Amino acid sequence: MFDELDSTNTTAAQLASANADGLAIIADFQTAGRGQYGRTWQSRPASSLLLSVVLRPPAELCRPVILTAFAAVAVAEAVFALSGAQARMKWPNDLFVRGKKVCGLLIESHAANVILGLGLNLTQTADEFATVGLPDATSIRIVGGRVIEPREAAEAVLRRLDREYNRLLAGERVAVEAEWKWRVGLLGRQVVVELRDGSTVSGRLHEMGFDGLELEVADGFFRVIVPETVTHLRTA
């Protein structure tokens, strides 16, 4: 555990080696933390769990959708254990509680290693978020009514990351997939799918899984979309 780093993901990538599977890097403060699409991420020292884990998944699991899904499920379970609040997943990599963001995830590939990074808000207040222009953010303190220190949060998150990752390695992909679908919570609803090429597809989300999102785009007509081509998934 470090007092300060530029980025836990960067440090994890630097320390990663052929036998680094499971290496965890934690920092109280990041000077150059980053999120999805190169966005910056910064928080008050010791106010968030800033964690990166090195993984070396087998080829069949080395897909962004699977790795993000298992991590989202694990962290959501940790959020519930720490606060009593259920977290939902907002595509592609954020966890929300009561409509506000509590955690962001980032998956990066470095040679044979995958770096899973996350920032989980712990002790910030609503006034603190408002002051820095983040009215749509929340924290474990706000939703759970208690102050959680980073070390306690790290133990809860790492325990559940281990459990969900081992389920994948044991071939229990369907169970993880089902929990992920429930956390997304959009089955049966009218949605808009935004794709990496800039186009959008609208329809009813009939089914979803790691192998595709199945949309009913017209009466009796369905389209299957590869998850890795999707940048955003939202209600219509």
110 and 143: one domain? yes
Mean pLDDT to the nearest integer, 132-157: 95
93 and 193: one domain? no
pLDDT tens digits, residue range 147-193?
A: 999 999 999 999 999 999 999 999 999 999 999 999 999 999 999 99
Q: What is the rounded CA–CA span in Å between residue 174 and residue 33?
A: 33
Determine the pLDDT at residue 181. 96
96 and 206: one domain? no
119 and 214: one domain? no
Q: What is the rounded CA–CA span in Å between residue 60 and residue 206?
A: 25
Residue 44 is assigned to a structural domain of this protein: yes
Determine the pLDDT at residue 2. 80
Q: Count other Cβ atoms within 10 Å, centred on residue 61.
A: 16
Give residue 66's domain range: 8-183
Determine the pLDDT at residue 95. 98
Determine the pLDDT at residue 46. 82
State whether the Cα torsion 7-167-93-230 is positive or negative.
Answer: positive
- Using H for helix, E for strand and C for coil, what is the string for 98-136? CCEEEEEEEEEEECCEEEEEEEEECCCCHHHHHHCCCCC
39 and 122: one domain? yes
The residue written with tokens 């929300």 in the block is 96
Residue 106 is assigned to a structural domain of this protein: yes
146 and 173: one domain? yes
**Does 14 have pLDDT greater than 70?**
yes
Count the domains in the chain.
2
Residue 2 is assigned to a structural domain of this protein: no
Determine the pLDDT at residue 111. 77
Q: Look up the CATH number of the domain holding residue 198.
A: 2.30.30.100
Residue 124 is assigned to a structural domain of this protein: yes
226 and 165: one domain? no
123 and 85: one domain? yes
